Amino acid sequence: MVIQREIHLQTSGHGEMTDLTGELEEIVASSGVTTGIANVANLGSTGAIGGIEFEAGLERDLPEILDRLIPAGRHYGHEQAWHDGNGHSHLQATILGQSLTLPIADAAPRLGTWQQIVHLECDVKPRRRTIVITIIGE
C-alpha cells in the first residue's frame, strides 16, 4: 500500500525550525500501515528535513553552526549569477538533506526517545513550504 499526504507550513525565514513529529504520527496512524517506511520530503531547494531533539538550545544551535560552517556571502557562484542573497541557503539545505526516511512499526514512526522530525528553513526570506509524506507498507 502507498499513501501520500502533505503538510503545509508558512515559515518566517532563515533558521526557523518547525516540529513535524505530531503531524507525521497522525498521518502514519491514519494510513492503515502497520509496518513499512515513511519518507518526509521538503519540496524546494532551500529547506531541510532532519531528526533532532526539538528543544530551545538545539533550535538555536543548529542554525548558528550552519551559519558558521556556510555563512552568507557574495562569493558564492549562485550569488554571482542570481544576486538573491541565498547561495548559502541552498548549500545548507543540501548538506542537511531535503528528505528523511523512517521505519514504521506498530502503526507509528520508529523514533528515539529524544528524537523529533523537523523542518529547518534555510532561505533568507519567509516561505510557504510543502512537505510530502509518502508511506509504503502493509
> pLDDT tens for residues 80-106?
898 899 999 999 999 999 999 999 999
Domains of the chain and CATH, by start:
2-137 (2.60.120.460)
Examine the pLDDT at 60 and tell me if it is beyond 90.
yes
Under a CB-based contact definition with an 8 Å cutoff, are residues 1 and 136 in contact? yes
Name the band, by pLDDT with cuts 50, 70 and 90, for residue 69.
Answer: very high
Render 9-42 in DSSP notation, one character per residue.
EE--STT-EEE-HHHHHHHHHHHT-SEEEEEEEE
In this predicted structure, what is the pLDDT of residue 114?
96
Q: How confident is the model at residue 71 (pLDDT cuts 50, 70, 90)?
A: very high
Q: How far apart are CA 33 and CA 57, in angstroms?
A: 34
User: How many Å apart are CA 59 and CA 35, to the nearest integer?
Assistant: 31
Has residue 74 got a pLDDT over 90? Answer: no
Closest by Cα among 118, 135, 133 to 47: 118
Q: Answer yes or no: is pLDDT of 125 > 90.
A: yes
